[in-house]
Amino acid sequence: MANQKHENTQTNVFESFTKEITDQTEKLVKGYQLLSDVEEIDVATAEKELVWEEDKVKLYRYSSSKRSLKTPLLIAYALVNRFDMMDLQSDRSFIRNLLDSGIDIYLIDWGYPSRVDRYLTMEDYINGYINSCVNFVRKEHSVDKINLLGVCQGGTFSTIYTALNQDKIKNLITLVAPFDFDTDDGLLFKWSRDLNVDKVVDGNDGLVPGEFLNMGFDMLKPLSKFKKMATITNMMEDKGKMMNFLRMEQWVGDSPSQAGECYRKFIKDLYQENKLIKGEFTLGKKTVNLKDIKNPILTIYASSDHLVPPSATKPLNDNVGSKDKTLYEFPGGHIGVFVGGRSQKELAPKVSEWLKERD
């Protein structure tokens, strides 16, 4: 009797294992068929027009028939990765949600720096390119001031720009951007303190490879790739889920290299010496004082952000001179503020409402 039970157990285990293998094989075959039909991975498809360019930097204006706010909005994304995340797909698009609310949107595309750009500095990006884009939009709309929204590193740049150009910015919004770099809440901040940035920049002929940056981001969550691989076969049966995955992977892999001189100052002065929040950061010949920011400011941080933890963002609210300042917590991670379902329903409408009340 015992032998019979043992044989039955073995049979059941074998049948279960065989079924699992068969099911996984069928999923892979179906997934392969779906992948074979994919001709193009479409990201950032919201219609836009190129209105200005200089060197590799381009300024786009998004098409819309719903423009109702009189003050246009300029978006400055980070130099790392691409702005595509803000318009990943039609039903998960932070930008489309803002457009639908009546906001007239311009966006800076930093392009792909090459060896000839290795000497570009933070001053070139902020006092140069951002300032030129701001002036273009001001002239185009015949207004003295415009709205500025900066994302991650672009939020840091936008804040520095606003502190130096109060006469050109009406409202400032920062989205998951770092300002106080003296925090132990994120590995990125700990690692950067000991980074030999001179060796990184000079050892790559003045151009920091995008692959180097991606490798560092992967190391922040070393198990994420394994978790990702474990779920791929399950999503391959569903073309919608598979396309979502492929769009995200395309964005992650599309990481431009960084101009070495800009990267060098950004790491040394901010990550390693925390000069901005101390009031010691200089751009060109000017010292940047956050107290000089008097215009309304909306500071958005993500509660579960592993790249830019709340402790790196929130201190901005106490260090600006604005009387009209709002600190807003989004319950999610660094990427969720753009593509999460809650972002579409809650965050984009919040930004739109905030701007409308100050238009």
Active site residues: 152
In whole angstroms, how large is the CA radius of gyration of the chain?
Answer: 23
* CA–CA separation, 168 and 138 (whole Å): 8
Sequence-ordered list of residues with C-beta below 8 angstroms from that of 274, at least 6 positions apart, any chain = 180, 181, 182
Q: Residue 146 in 3-state DSSP?
A: strand
Structure tokens at 185: 């809440």
Do residues 309 and 185 touch, judged by C-beta distance below 8 A? Answer: yes
* CA–CA separation, 332 and 305 (whole Å): 7
* CA–CA separation, 82 and 70 (whole Å): 28
In eight-state DSSP terms, residue 324 is S
Element of type H or E holding 3: helix 2-36
Q: State the distance between the two ends of the chain, measured CA to CA, in whole angstroms.
A: 83
CA 154 remoteness from chain centre: 8
What one-character-per-residue DSSP string does 162-182 give?
HHH-TTTEEEEEEES------
Structure tokens at 229: 């691989």
* Helical residues (DSSP H) of 236-358, grouped into ranges: 239-253, 260-265, 275-278, 310-313, 316-319, 336-339, 341-342, 348-357
* CA–CA separation, 78 and 125 (whole Å): 11
